[in-house]
Amino acid sequence: MKEKIQELSLIKKTKEDQNEEECTLVELKEVKEATNDLEKKLERMKKEYHIKCRTVSTSASYKIIKGMRMEIEQMLTNKTGLLDPNESLIDIKSEIAELQEQISVMSLHILKKREENEELMHKIKDYKRITLKLDQEISSEQTLDKREEDQQVIHQEIKKQLDRLMLTVDLQIYNYTRTQVITTGNTEAILAPLESTKTQSVKVREFMISGTKKVQRINLRKIFNQK
């Protein structure tokens, strides 16, 4: 009788051990599937952000991706340890939950940084557009100022030439009058040419005083050919 009871107890204990082992295997299978999903998610995130930020070592995204890469390498290194039957399932689930939380926080941080970078890029584009417009306006103003300066120089040079011409005309009038008076002794004989010469002198002065921009294009000799 005792042997039968012991045999039944042994069978019952064996079944309990088998059930416990089956439960453990199921939980380990779930952990393995969760770990595989986590690996795939991390690899996908790694591929998405690696191309953009792999060369900018000072950016926040690069640092975050570097941390994620370290987490992935650590997780892959400890993969066998996570599936060790001797390790507590509670600890394994806790580590997985912690990693998932870290990934969520990193994802939100990356999205926030991306929005900030896009806003900054828009500001930079606006600044470049405004700067280009200001440069064009400044260049246009400088061109106008240079043109006005050149015109002023030309106008001053024309005035100097006209002043010298007026002195020459006055000298010619004086010499002509003096010669006619000495030769003929008649002052009335020189009034007509003298009046014509004065008219020419007035025309020259009008050109000089007017300050027109087209004075340099006028051949002043035409004035003296209108006798």
Provide the residue-wise pLDDT of the chain in tens; the chain has 227 residues.
Answer: 555 555 556 655 565 556 566 667 777 777 778 888 888 887 777 777 666 655 556 666 666 767 777 776 666 665 554 455 555 556 667 777 788 788 888 888 888 888 888 888 888 888 888 888 887 877 777 777 777 777 777 777 777 777 777 777 667 766 666 666 566 655 555 555 555 555 666 665 565 555 544 444 444 445 445 44
CA 161 vs CA 111, 158, 206: distances in Å: 75, 5, 14
**In the chain, which residue ranges form alpha helices assigned H by DSSP?**
2-53, 60-77, 79-82, 89-184, 191-210, 221-224
> Using CB atoms within 10 A of its CB, is residue 68 exposed (0-12), middle (13-18) or buried (19+)?
buried
Model-level pTM? 0.29
Provide the percentage of residues in the chain whose pLDDT is more than 90: 0
pLDDT tens digits, one per residue of 192-215: 555 555 566 666 556 555 554 444
173 vs 197: CA distance, rounded Å? 7
pLDDT tens digits, one per residue of 122-150: 888 888 888 888 878 777 777 777 777 77
99 vs 204: CA distance, rounded Å? 96
Domain limits of the chain? 2-87, 148-224
The predicted structure's pLDDT at residue 103? 80
